Structure 1
Amino acid sequence: MNPILMAVMVSLSVVFGVGSAWGAAPAVKVDPLTIKFAHAGSLTHPYSVGIQKLTPILEKNSGGAIKLQVFCCAQLGSERELAEGTRLGTIDVTSVAAEGALPAWVPELQVLGLPFLIRDRAHVYKVLDGPIGKEFEAKLEAQGLHVLGWWELGFRNMTTKGKPIREPADLKGLKMRVQEAKVWLGLMRALGAIPTPIPFGELYNALQQGVVDGQENPIVTVVSMKFYEVQKQVGLTEHTYTALPVMASKKWWDGLKPDQRQVIAESVKASVAEQRKTVAGQVDEGIKFLKTQGVTITEVDKGKFMEATKEVPNLIADQVPPELVRRIRETR
């Protein structure tokens, strides 16, 4: 079954009993509001994990006055279209891959797609939750996207239909789906593969029909989007990390009342730690599950991947300042 074709509109709201369920009255009384939140993931994707964490917090903080109307599974378009719709105000809130769709407006976000720049989760949290993250947020704000917090997708790995991936030579000549940004094209070419941009919502079909030979995504995405049905090899490259900024339309945001903005901002902020913790904890269980589905998990020679991709930063130096790369690398 292709999960991205499900025509599902999920309304995640609890109208009654919020105070008793959480044992506390809301911090402020706010006017009723329904937030149109759209994303491209399945009902079990990290986007949906974020929604599941955010919903009860938002309902508690608003006394049930603020609800989410969620459009999942790319119902309202590709990630690029979701970001554009949010900029224009036709979508209230969205979350997309930071280094995928957003470089169309903020090229510097491609830095998050540079191979092996991010050491571990502690490193990237300091980057996103610190001064560099604030700079990204300011640039997105100038483009009509108000960042409320940074959810997590995680570290990305290579998958193929049948050929094991142990070293860059194993990717030579393979058509690999990539996100539509210069950094991804450069990364795959450096590995000898043929980069093929395909919207996330169309990826399952592209893999199933052989339009591409493989793709790269975190383990949790391979599981939640059921890519394991059409990809039986996973190489644990962990070559990049993907963050999922939760972004409100600035046009919509500026039109809210101050108390509504306060409740929404505080609620999303509180959901971030919970979403990150849950998604990070799903990796090991995801690997175990994939093995039960006949997927072969292969440890790769990371040294060879690092060597093959070491010049990728130079390929995007006109869009991503080397000084930004240095600052991220030196963040401790």
Structure 2
Amino acid sequence: MKRGWAICFVVCFFLIAFLLPSGPLHAQEKGVKLRYSNFFPPMHPISKLSDDWGKEIDKRTNGRVKVTYFPGATLTPPMQTYDSTVKGIADVGQAVMAYAPGRLPLSEVLNQPLGVSSGIQATKLANAYYKKFAPKEFDDVKVMYLHGGAPCFFHTKNVISSIDGLKGLRIKCNAENAGIVTSLGAAPVTIPVTETYDGLQKGLLEGLLIAPEALKFFRFAEVVKTTLENYASSFMVSFFIVMNKDKWNSISKEDQQAIEKINEEWADRQGKLWVALDKEGTEYAIQKGVKFVRASKEEEARTAEKLKPVLGDYVKDKKAKGLPAEEALKFCLEYVKANP
């Protein structure tokens, strides 16, 4: 009798174990659902590309991984996207790295005046940097891919012909790039991009430091007259697309590999999109009468010399925190030079 009960117990145990699988396999049988938060408005080309990323994942995993896309900061505020993804409020998040102040210190190297020449170069650099250094600051998420916007230039309300014309001007910029502005003799003003048009129109600002695509998409071409196309002072605005780590671990290895492949393809598409947007913004600005002044090699060399303290400050600050800042900066500068 006892032997019969023992056999019955063993059979029931294995039956339950078979019927109730755990881990990624169990999650896959139910399907993994991802909520993707992005601050770009729904009609922006970058937003559309991001939405397509999710649709491609659904397609290549045969519906086992489904992405619901939330554009226009409807799921998380831009400044909270990184932390919200870590906490699982969003499963995937895209935002500007500068929107996670203090969280990604080594990666601030990507926002320095490195002399990037295009969105393709910037995006390739960002991902090469991540692959090379695998910074621990990203350990609490799974990085999908990084990308960098088109090079940012100075745009002014007055007609100027060189960096000398920037002296004393009130220039809108991001806080992390204020050093570029001050090093060239101008006064940095850190206000939201959404308030910049009015600031220029009302005379509160006399210029801005931003990528040419914004001349069209934020209509700045209506209120500026000159763009200084000086690559020595150019930098990229860097972006992250990251996934909640627990959510990533709930996806099967097979589907993880499919997503990694999509990430590689989308990083490439993202870089090309930045180039297209840059071209579109430039052409629009020229039609509006904005004059593009291309700096000579001598002018760029003079600019680079003035900006050396900005790079030095980055290295000094991050080295004090025990980070390989000197190596990161050297890698980025050499990458830009070797991959024009």
Residue 148 of structure 1 and its aligned partner are, at CA, apart by: 0.7
Matched, 1:244 2:239: yes
**Cα RMSD (Å):** 3.2
Q: Following the alignment from structure 1 to structure 2, what is the Cα–Cα distance between the partners of residues 165 and 42?
A: 33
Q: Following the alignment from structure 1 to structure 2, what is the Cα–Cα distance between the partners of residues 254 and 203?
A: 42
Gaps of 5+ in 2: 1-27, 319-324
Matched residue, 1:303: 301
**Structure 1 segment 249-328 matched on structure 2, within 5 A:** 249-300=244-295, 301-320=299-318, 321-328=325-332
**Matched-pair contact (CA < 8 Å) for 2:120–2:268:** no
The 1:63–1:316 alpha-carbon spacing in structure 2 relative to 1, beyond 3 Å, is same
Q: How big is each residue's C-alpha offset from its partner over 1:120-152, in whole Å with a ceiling of 9 and x where there is no partner?
A: 66765554343x32255442322x232111234
The 1:270–1:44 alpha-carbon spacing in structure 2 relative to 1, beyond 3 Å, is same
Residue 154 of structure 1 and its aligned partner are, at CA, apart by: 1.7
**Matched-pair contact (CA < 8 Å) for 2:150–2:275:** yes
Q: Following the alignment from structure 2 to structure 1, what is the Cα–Cα distance between the partners of residues 170 and 80?
A: 24
Matched residue, 1:81: 80
**Structure 1 segment 151-230 matched on structure 2, within 5 A:** 151-160=147-156, 162-181=157-176, 184-200=177-193, 203-204=196-197, 207=200, 211-230=204-223
The 1:120–1:297 alpha-carbon spacing in structure 2 relative to 1, beyond 3 Å, is closer
Q: Following the alignment from structure 1 to structure 2, what is the Cα–Cα distance between the partners of residues 226 and 34?
A: 37
Q: Residue 316 of structure 1: SS of its match in structure 2? A: helix
**Matched-pair contact (CA < 8 Å) for 1:47–1:95:** no
Matched residue, 1:19: none
Residue 35 of structure 1 and its aligned partner are, at CA, apart by: 2.9
88-97 or 75-84, which deviates more:
75-84
Q: TM-score, normalization: structure 2?
A: 0.73
Q: Following the alignment from structure 2 to structure 1, what is the Cα–Cα distance between the partners of residues 268 and 205?
A: 35
The 1:299–1:204 alpha-carbon spacing in structure 2 relative to 1, beyond 3 Å, is same
**Matched-pair contact (CA < 8 Å) for 1:186–1:315:** no
The 1:215–1:43 alpha-carbon spacing in structure 2 relative to 1, beyond 3 Å, is farther
Q: How big is each residue's C-alpha offset from its partner over 1:150-191, in whole Å with a ceiling of 9 and x where there is no partner?
A: 23422111223x22343222222222222233xx12111101
**Matched-pair contact (CA < 8 Å) for 1:102–1:109:** no
Counterpart residue identity of residue 39, structure 2: A
Q: Following the alignment from structure 1 to structure 2, what is the Cα–Cα distance between the partners of residues 316 and 111?
A: 7
Residue 281 of structure 1 and its aligned partner are, at CA, apart by: 3.2
Q: Residue 315 of structure 2: SS of its match in structure 1? A: coil
Kindly name which structure, 1 or 2, has the bigger radius of gyration based on alpha carbons.
2
The 1:252–1:156 alpha-carbon spacing in structure 2 relative to 1, beyond 3 Å, is same
Q: Residue 297 of structure 1: SS of its match in structure 2? A: strand
Q: How big is each residue's C-alpha offset from its partner over 1:195-220, in whole Å with a ceiling of 9 and x where there is no partner?
A: 22334555556555655433222222
**Matched-pair contact (CA < 8 Å) for 1:30–1:260:** no
Q: TM-score, normalization: structure 1?
A: 0.75
Q: Following the alignment from structure 2 to structure 1, what is the Cα–Cα distance between the partners of residues 329 and 46?
A: 27
What is the percent sequence identity of the aligned residues?
A: 20
Matched, 1:114 2:118: no
Q: Residue 82 of structure 2: SS of its match in structure 1? A: helix
**Matched-pair contact (CA < 8 Å) for 1:45–1:220:** no
Matched residue, 2:62: 63
Q: Following the alignment from structure 2 to structure 1, what is the Cα–Cα distance between the partners of residues 117 and 211?
A: 15
301-310 or 43-52, which deviates more:
43-52
The 1:263–1:200 alpha-carbon spacing in structure 2 relative to 1, beyond 3 Å, is farther
The 1:260–1:43 alpha-carbon spacing in structure 2 relative to 1, beyond 3 Å, is same
**Matched-pair contact (CA < 8 Å) for 1:159–1:235:** yes
210-219 or 71-80, which deviates more:
71-80
